[in-house]
Amino acid sequence: MSDVVLLPSVNKFLGRDHGHYIDGGFSAGSPTGKITVVNPADGEAIAQVSEATLGDIDHAVASANAGFKVWSKTSPAARAAVLFKLADLLERNREELAQLETCQSGKIIQISRAFEVDQAAHFLRYYAGWATKITGETITPSLPSFAGERYTAFTLREPVGVVVGIVPWNFSTMIAIWKLASALTTGCSIIIKPSEFTPLTILRIAELATEAGLPPGALNVVTGSGAAGKALIEHAGTNKVSFTGSVPTGIAVGKSAMEAKLTRSTLELGGKNSVGFLRDVDLDKAADGIIEAGFLHSGQICAAAERFFAHRSQIEPIMEKLAQRLATLKIGSPMDESTQFGPVTNKQHQQKLAGFFETARAENSTIVYGGKVIDRPGCYVEPTIILANSASDTLLNEETFGPIATFLPYDTEEELLHLMNDTPYGLSASIWTNDLSKALRLIPEIKAGTVWVNMHTLLDPAVPFGGVKASGIGREFGAAFLEDYTELKSVMIRY
């Protein structure tokens, strides 16, 4: 098959002189500080965006404070209506948004359509439903009366204020939607700082948000590198940061937030997620499961699995079946609808993955399949299977964020549990078995924010998501997100 033809609207958007999106419209950025956005499928520059100056950041924060005044006083039903309308607009502009996303991230077009647009709209509608369901509680105070007076108390859940949403490059649209939907449904305003690698789609979505009826300043988008994110967090006019990204940056973000002014922070960080195959597992299901767990979007998913533990008697056949499946994956242009495996998102990441292949060789791990950069324009690497020598191999311990499945055999279930938990991270894990009683006994022993059984990677807006240990602080989705975007105010009355 051949590449999908770019819509005229996509070409027109790419050709624009992009500024920041502030106060319901585009605001020209500095003429000198420009960031070039590169298509990872062929290495060609496709657009330029602005690197925010401190002046741009002051402008965005002042606008977000003004936006907050209006939006926080907007009725919950009206807030929900705007978010529902935005979800409709995402779907109406599905192909344009999906193509833009694939151009900037190299994500195969089918994933851009299904996840970055369809799933994002689904999440948005879920959050919109919360706007009308945010409540406090009434409390009977516990102390005895001194002289016959009485007391009553209640709590109010109030929006936290101006949120800074810092977004990584792997799901630049969907993750931005999680953040703006959480903020806007609770009555907060938000400034999104997208990744410098993938800043385009959210700029277009900000326009759609204005079309949906969002008042100026309720959603601003400021483009730039990490320095822009840091300046936003440290600005006296922001109240919370919701960050998704790597562990080292997350630690820096948490520090900046605390040191600035005890700014609230939610940190959704990286992982080194484990899969444990119990002995009763069907080997074909195991191999299919690994494709879902480790190779979707070339493994560039925070919840993707990178450490695979199988019983010593089964590890060879599982790796063999997996290698057979990987050999049939169609590698190619992400704009070709028949492609199943596209490039990784940027040159730096491709080089980092090449470094991991070298490390695996230097440590004498067995490269069972793949293990090389693909010699073609763009940022391609081979889907890879590695058999580690021991639990201390680098590839079993450092997050690669790429299409690399590293295996180690186990002999006993006790050893399996130890191996699955033997990591400083705890974002997600999965166990694969038909023995539900055994699965239910193992689940409490696994140290991860999400444990899947016979599945991996699928996120649902109704199910809380976040990490334990070094994988982060706080939860997105479900009712749990409310804790992070609202402050609880207690009111006590004597009568």
Span 305-364, contacts to ligand NAD by CB under 6 A: none
Please report whether residue 481 would count as binding ligand NAD according to CB under 6 A.
no
- Please say which residue, 199 or 332, places its beta carbon nearer to ligand NAD: 199
Closest contact distance (angstroms) between CB of 428 and ligand NAD is 9
- 167 binding ligand NAD? (CB under 6 A): yes
Residues 236-275 binding ligand NAD (CB under 6 A) are 244-246, 249, 252-253, 256, 268-271
Using CB under 6 A as the binding rule, whether residue 484 contacts ligand NAD is answered as no
**Among the listed residues 63, 99, 112, 195, the single contact to ligand NAD using CB under 6 A:** 195
Give min distance, CB of 374 to ligand NAD, in A. Answer: 21
476 carries an active-site annotation: no
268 has catalytic annotation:
yes
Instruction: Assess 401 for contact with ligand NAD (CB under 6 A).
Output: yes
Contact between 166 and ligand NAD by CB under 6 A: the answer reads yes
- The residue (of 107 and 311) whose beta carbon lies closer to ligand NAD is 107
What is the three-state SS of the chain?
CCECCCCHHHHHHHCCCCCEEECCEEECCCCCCEEEEEECCCCEEEEEEECCCHHHHHHHHHHHHHHHHHHCCCCHHHHHHHHHHHHHHHHHCHHHHHHHHHHHHCCCHHHHHHHHHHHHHHHHHHHHHHHHHCCCCEECCCCCCCCCCCEEEEEEEEECCEEEEECCCCCHHHHHHHHHHHHHHCCCEEEEECCCCCCHHHHHHHHHHHHHCCCCCCEEECCCCHHHHHHHHHCCCCCEEEEECCHHHHHHHHHHHHHHHCCEEEEECCCCEEEEECCCCCHHHHHHHHHHHHHHHHHCCCCCEEEEEEECCCHHHHHHHHHHHHHHCCECCCCECCCCECCCCCHHHHHHHHHHHHHHHHCCCEEEECCCECCCCCCCECCEEEECCCCCCHHHCCCCCCCEEEEEEECCHHHHHHHHHCCCEECEEEEECCCHHHHHHHHHHCCCCEEEECCCCCCCCCCCECCEECCEECCECCCCHHHHHEEEEEEEEEC
Residue (39 or 433) nearer to ligand NAD, CB: 39
Q: Which is nearer to ligand NAD, 428 or 433 (CB)?
A: 428
In the complex, least distance from residue 224 CB atom to ligand NAD, rounded to whole angstroms:
7
Nearest distance from residue 287's CB to ligand NAD, in Å?
Answer: 24
Active site residues: 268, 302
Write out the residues near ligand NAD by the rule CB under 6 A.
Answer: 166-170, 193, 195-196, 225-226, 229-230, 233, 244-246, 249, 252-253, 256, 268-271, 302, 399, 401, 427, 467, 472
